[in-house]
Amino acid sequence: MDALRRLDPDIYELIRAEERYELDSIRLIPSENYVSQAVLEASGSILTNKYSEGYPGRRYYEGQRYIDSIETLAIERACALFGAQHANVQPYSGSPANLAVYFALLKPGDALMGLALPHGGHLTHGWSASVTGALWRPVQYTVERETHRIDYDAVRELARKERPKIIVTGATAYPRQFDFKVFAEIAREVGAYLLADISHIAGLIVAGVHPDPIPYADVVVTTTHKTLRGPRGAMILCRRELADRIDRAVFPGLQGGPHNHTTAAIAVTLKEAATPEFKRYGEQIVKNARTLADELLAHGFNLVSGGTDNHLILIDLTTKGITGKQAAQALDRAGIVCNYNTVPYDPRKPFNPSGIRIGTPAVTSRGMGEAEMRQVARWIDRVIAHPDDNENSGRIAGEVRELCARFPAPGIPLR
Ligand code: DSN
């Protein structure tokens, strides 16, 4: 980055500092990852120079000979990897992807049913603070109070009563698997489309360690930068009959020109995800999460739903006498990065809730395994036991740096 260093040393230094931070810390935010050097190169390429509104072979700009080939490759690889009939790889990220699906399939005021945000759903699944809760009539299901799991009978009952036009399955903070077959049966019974938002679990589905929604859902949305380990972007996969409506909703309905550098990086990501190494990566994410959860339970932590089936763990810290925000800040001082999060039926507000959310996609990308997860759990326990003891946090941060030095991060050169 010599040119950047000379032209804009401020930004250069900040990027270098973030690089060091990502290298020296245990990154447990379950929606984050480390992309490969190949993905970084495609993402930072001259493709950012291009405008190409439209789709391959149907553009509003001339000069698309290479861009068309790149987008076609991305589409073909997405369809092959997920077994989908159609893929749109242009959404800028997950929120616009979900909006495009609603714009394609709903009329203003139609009912949109999704998991409530405080129960693990996403803002764009119809939460009141989101435009999706304003343009459409939100119907929100919750997890069960005792088990913290989706109660499919309650979902069916609510769907029968409210007659949504789309039912969304998917979450940002749900540590268990989704039963897409049951969701599809409910959607069919009430005449709704089923949208599976697999943003968090796409890499696990590809690796075969989470059930696959493609046989059941009308539309599947995923971001490309979480467990799939690609650039920040999104894709919409759907049945052939819905392809035109989805494509028109993305462009010209919601977006202008696609971000071609991102499209190329998505194509590279999909090539990487089709390898046996990626399957092993997905399997290890889940093994690591289970080990981390078991070790936390052994240290007396209270986990939402009692554990995990996927890549993430939600810890309710109420019994430890500390809030999620205090815990996340103390952990950050010790070199362990996570986000604070509401837990189901949380009496506290989202900006200082009762829980933290942790996950294993990024640490698994560095090659860490079960032994390291047990160590991470011990560090979390030591920090949470003395959150205001900066000497303790500093000592742990040193130990964290030593461990991290043994596990190179993809895409970040060792200097
Ligand atoms: N904000 C993302 C996450 O952290 O899960 C979801 O969009």
What per-residue confidence (pLDDT) applies to 412? 95
Same domain, yes or no, for 295 and 167? Answer: no
Give per-residue pLDDT as tens, 47-67: 999 999 999 999 999 999 999
Residue 128 lies in a domain: yes
Same domain, yes or no, for 260 and 312? Answer: no
Is the C-beta atom of 52 inside 6 A of ligand 1? no
Same domain, yes or no, for 109 and 83? Answer: yes
The CA 3 to ligand 1 mean position distance, Å, reads 33
How far is the C-alpha of 44 from the C-alpha of 392, rounded, in Å?
A: 40
What per-residue confidence (pLDDT) applies to 414? 78
Instruction: Tell whether the model's pLDDT for residue 87 goes beyond 80.
Output: yes
Binning pLDDT at 50, 70 and 90, where does residue 413 land? confident
Residue 17 lies in a domain: no
Same domain, yes or no, for 303 and 189? Answer: no
Average pLDDT (21-31) is 98
Catalytic residues: 51, 53, 197, 223, 226, 232
**Atom from ligand 1 closest to the CA of residue 32:** 4
Give per-residue pLDDT as tens, 347-405: 999 999 999 999 999 999 999 999 999 999 999 999 999 999 999 999 999 999 999 99
The CATH number of the domain holding residue 157 is 3.40.640.10
Structural domain of 217: 40-273
Same domain, yes or no, for 304 and 371? Answer: yes
pTM: 0.97
Same domain, yes or no, for 307 and 244? Answer: no
User: How far, CA to CA in Å, does 390 sit from each of 67, 202, 214, 339, 385?
Assistant: 52, 38, 49, 20, 12
Final residue before a domain boundary, out of 227, 251, 273: 273
The CA 94 to ligand 1 mean position distance, Å, reads 9
Give per-residue pLDDT as tens, 314-356: 999 999 999 999 999 999 999 999 999 999 999 999 999 999 9
Average pLDDT (20-27) is 98
Instruction: Tell whether the model's pLDDT for residue 415 goes beyond 90.
Output: no
Is the C-beta atom of 164 inside 6 A of ligand 1? no
Instruction: Tell whether the model's pLDDT for residue 286 goes beyond 90.
Output: yes
Give per-residue pLDDT as tens, 103-114: 999 999 999 999
Same domain, yes or no, for 256 and 304? Answer: no
The CA 391 to ligand 1 mean position distance, Å, reads 32
Is the C-beta atom of 341 inside 6 A of ligand 1? no
Residue 1 lies in a domain: no
- Amino acid residing at 240: R
Average pLDDT (293-305) is 98
Domain count, the chain: 2
Instruction: Tell whether the model's pLDDT for residue 30 goes beyond 80.
Output: yes
Same domain, yes or no, for 240 and 299? Answer: no
Contact between residue 315 and residue 303 where contact means Cβ atoms under 8 Å apart: yes
Q: What percent of the chain has pLDDT over 70?
A: 100
Residue 24 lies in a domain: no
Contact between residue 52 and residue 257 where contact means Cβ atoms under 8 Å apart: yes
Same domain, yes or no, for 259 and 318? Answer: no
Is the C-beta atom of 94 inside 6 A of ligand 1? yes
The CATH number of the domain holding residue 334 is 3.90.1150.10
Same domain, yes or no, for 150 and 217? Answer: yes
What per-residue confidence (pLDDT) applies to 6? 98
Alpha carbon dihedral 40, 44, 48, 52, in 10-degree steps, equals -20
